[in-house]
Amino acid sequence: MADPAAPAAAARPTKIIAGADPFGAPLKDALVTHLREALHIEVEDLGTGPYYSIAADVGRRISSSGGPETRGLVACGTGCGVSMFANKFPGAFAATCLSVADAVNARSINNSNILAVSAVSTPPEPAVEILRAWLDTPFKSPCPANGDRPWSDDIQEFLDRALVETPKIGALASEPDESASCAICCLVKRRELNPIDMIPGGSMKILRETPTSAIVRFKAGSVEPAHHHTFGHDLVVLQGKKSVWNLTKKERYDLVVGDYLFTPAGDVHRVQYHEETEFFIKWDGHWDMFFDEDLETAKKAIAEESSSPSLP
């Protein structure tokens, strides 16, 4: 009797190179265990490090692996930071997948060879389902983006052509192109950000719904008065410098480009922008914002804090 899992197993890589930052390490470890014990796939685990360096290590290795038999697995809090830095190498195609549909689409359309997962959004059991879908989906196969129907001949020709042309983009670049620095930046490029009416100096552009993600920009010197939300949110700084005071936890975070911060639901926090700053933010649920002080009170507290190391 034929093994029904045989076609899927045939599509799988024979080796996975894995790595994570401290936020993503527990999820990465669970997936590595599944790969080794349940699927009997060889795993080279590069361990744990800062999201930008560990993801770059995986991306570099996949870029030089030379074939589809080896793929990568990276994890961090959101799955976005590791994806950005893994993608900095020609032939490395990392995709952040928060669902099985994302994983199938990424393999079918983009021939993704690095899976990026979010430890904040994805518990181990759903992550295993995402991993298996990503492992077992061949390039150009039917996927949710096309109603699970086969691709037409002209689309298949385009996908084949993209498979040849896309690795050349990074390989032929003699100098860094700051206008195309990362996938998230490209999403917002040439899009108008809408002003945030409640806070002077802020603007925002929604990129995706459920879970919701957005690019937010604040002018230098802007201040967000102390406030809280009914949802927790993750952010990664893309440009500039900001300080966040978590008044609930009595902690201060000074964030620059590449830094990540998770703020739990209900935590009261105040923000100051030292430079023009842009960041990626993700949350679950409808947007809300409840102020715990007015703008003048916030500015006064920040001014007082500047002359004292203690949290106001």
**Cα distance between residue 253 and residue 262, in whole Å:** 11
Question: Which residues are CB-contacts of 294 (< 8 A; sequence separation ≥ 6)?
Answer: 225
Residues near 167 by beta carbon (within 8 Å), at least 6 away in sequence = 90, 91
Closest CA to 258 of 89, 121, 76: 76
247-258 b/e (C-beta count within 10 Å ≥ 16 → b):
beeeebbebeee
Q: Are 52 and 258 in contact (CB under 8 A)?
A: yes
Q: What's the DSSP call for residue 58?
A: H
Catalytic annotation, residues: 76
* Cβ-defined contacts of 30-38 (< 8 Å, 24+): 30/124, 30/127, 30/128, 31/73, 31/75, 31/117, 31/124, 31/127, 31/128, 31/131, 32/73, 34/128, 34/131, 35/73, 35/131
**CA gap 95, 102 in Å, rounded:** 8
